[in-house]
Amino acid sequence: MHNRRLAAALAVVASAALAGSLALVRPAAADTSLKQLAEGKGKYFGTALVQSNLSNSTLVGVATSQFDMMTPGNEMKWDTTEPSNGSFNFGPGDALVAFAQAHSMRVRGHNLVWHSQLPGWVSSLPSNQVQAAMETHVTTEATHYKGEVYSWDVVNEPFNEDGTLRQDAFYNAMGTGYIADAIRTAHAADPNAKLYLNDYNIEGENAKSNGMYSLVQSLLAQGVPIGGVGLESHFILGQVPSTMLANMQRFAALGLDVAVTELDDRIQLPASSANLQQQATDYSTVVSDCLAVTRCVGVSQWGVGDADSWIPGAFSGYGAATMYDQNYQPKPAYTASVNALGGSGGSSSSSPSTPTSSSSSSGGGGGGAACKVSDTVDAWNTGLTENITISDTGSAAVNGWRLVFTLAPGQTITNGWNATYSPSSGQVTATNASYDGAIAPGGSVSIGFQATHTGNAAAPASFSLNGQACSS
């Protein structure tokens, strides 16, 4: 597996080098990319890719310059990964993971259990065999990608529009309990991945999101290790719900992360310039809503541009649903997203970005951080203990933090304290625990972890806090 990943990664690097040399799209100054601006606020900006996208150099140029999170569009779904009972195929998913890793993008695993793109053999099983098949599938896939995904959409789209659970093969065989079982099974396989329930039409407060809210309350009460709720956000122009912010806040208040997982905003074709302006407003609303919720970890668009969007194939007469046009040129929605993130979109100047008022609600002292990191490493023949002190050297309080650093090759985190660490090797993000998210100006927090190593016991390198490099 590792050789195949390495070969895939090398192929990706080669194709990306080619893409880099061919890419003509440079929509805004490098300091105003979506990902850099989002990272400055302690968030990510993601996209969905399918394997065939990797040979489109223009698309790849935009994807790698703008986005720092990648969701495989189809390649981790059950019909690809276990097309017949017990026969697994992770090749397509591995290629996308290698691409993401080669471009410093994290990965949202999508998905483990879903009624759609489900091979016929699962739906044909006698109901007393469905649970074992589901557990085997979840365990095998989550184990395969252990340490390589930031999160899993463990159960995808489980709800009907009225807030009741969809009567699919899993529900029919196991009842409501299949959801807790799937999440617990995924957690056992990859304890560091954030485990999500993901659905559409739950962005605002309505019967369906009320159903999700009740379900996650009950899961939390049972101690089920759910980590987040994904709001797909496949919008129709002008119809971003006014209750989206309040809805995200109520899930966050339960102690869960929330994420905008599949954003697009479809327009009846042909799109007028007024339509594109409305789309810009819609994107700006969504990005601002996420920034206003500390536990909103990021926004992902479903696809890179209008040319690779699923919308025209699924909704006849609709399209133009993304931030990039048919030729991967940025649309008003791109500029609006940059502006919502506090950048100066549309301008090719490299002047400093102007903070917006939304930055104060994203983290008390704004997204970026003035920080200092000191650390010590105590190593023995196969293991090490790393202690890290993060100090706020700025004049504003840090309120919610993510410390990103890179482990030396061969090191794997086995356990940690005062933060959650994911993934366990390579570029790691340590996210504050519930009790140490606030760092006062001049204050500090101490975190640490134990790791195994294979001979290189060097301390981690290049610490950044909420997207800003820290001094040492």
Where do contacts with ligand G2I occur on this chain (CB under 6 A)? 73-74, 116-117, 156, 232, 262, 310
Q: Measured from the CB atom, is 141 or 386 closer to ligand G2I?
A: 141
* Residues 256, 227 contacting (CB under 8 angstroms): yes
d(CA 371, CA 65): 26
Q: Which residue is nearest to ligand G2I (CB)?
A: 310
Q: CB 94 → ligand G2I: shortest distance, Å?
A: 17
β-sheet with 371-379: strand ranges across: 371-379, 383-392, 444-452, 412-417
- Residue with Cβ nearer ligand G2I (117 or 326): 117
Catalytic residue among 75, 135, 232, 262: 262
Q: Rounded to whole angstroms, what are the CA distances from 237 to 209, 298, 323, 333?
A: 20, 21, 13, 12
The DSSP secondary-structure symbol of 394 reads S
DSSP state, 222?
T
Residue corresponding to tokens 């400093």:
352
Could you tell me which residues are beta bridge partners of residue 384?
379, 451
232 catalytic? Reply is: no
Pairing of strands 371-379, 383-392: antiparallel
- Report, in Å, the least distance between residue 89 CB and ligand G2I: 14
DSSP helix/strand/coil, 202: coil
Q: What angle do CA 353, 356, 361 make, to 5 degrees?
A: 130
Rounded to whole angstroms, how far apart are CA atoms 246 and 254? 13
201 vs 427, beta carbon nearer ligand G2I: 201
State both tokens at 134: 């589901």
Quickly tell me which residue has 């500390």 as its tokens. 294
Compare residues 233 and 399 and give the one whose CB is closer to ligand G2I.
Answer: 233
Shortest distance in whole angstroms from residue 143 CB to ligand G2I: 22
What HEC string does 286-335 produce? Answer: HHHHHHCCCCEEEEEECCCCHHHCCHHHHCCCEECCCCECCCCCECHHHH
Q: Which of 262/289 has CB closer to ligand G2I?
A: 262
Of the pair 79, 436, the CB lying nearest ligand G2I is at: 79
Q: What share of the chain is helix, strand, coil (3-state, %, to 5)?
A: 35, 25, 40
Report, in Å, the least distance between residue 52 CB and ligand G2I. 8
Q: Say if CB 294 and CB 399 are below 8 A apart.
A: yes
- Residue 381 to residues 378, 384, 417, 435, 452, Cα–Cα distance (Å): 11, 8, 22, 33, 9
> Minimum distance from CB of 315 to ligand G2I (Å)?
10
Q: Please answer whether residues 276 and 283 qualify as being in contact, where contact means their C-beta atoms are separated by less than 8 angstroms.
A: no
**What is the distance of C-alpha 354 from the center of its chain?**
26
What does the DSSP assignment read for 40-93? HTT-EEEEEE-GGGGG-HHHHHHHHHH-SEEEESSTTSHHHH-SBTTB---HHH
Please say which residue, 315 or 374, places its beta carbon nearer to ligand G2I: 315
Residue 181 or 262 having the CB closest to ligand G2I: 262
At closest approach, how far in Å is the CB of 302 from ligand G2I?
6
82 is catalytic: no
CB of 157 to ligand G2I, least distance (A): 6
Query: From the CB of 308, what's the least distance to ligand G2I, in Å?
Result: 9
> Which position has the token pair 């797909």?
232
Q: Shortest approach of ligand G2I to residue 401 CB, angstroms?
A: 31
Residue 261 vs 288, nearer CB to ligand G2I: 261
Instruction: Name, in order, each residue with C-beta under 8 angstroms of 114's C-beta and a sequence gap of 6 or more.
Output: 77, 78, 155, 156, 157
Of these residues, 157, 203, 232, 386, which one is catalytic? Answer: 157
Catalytic residues: 157, 262
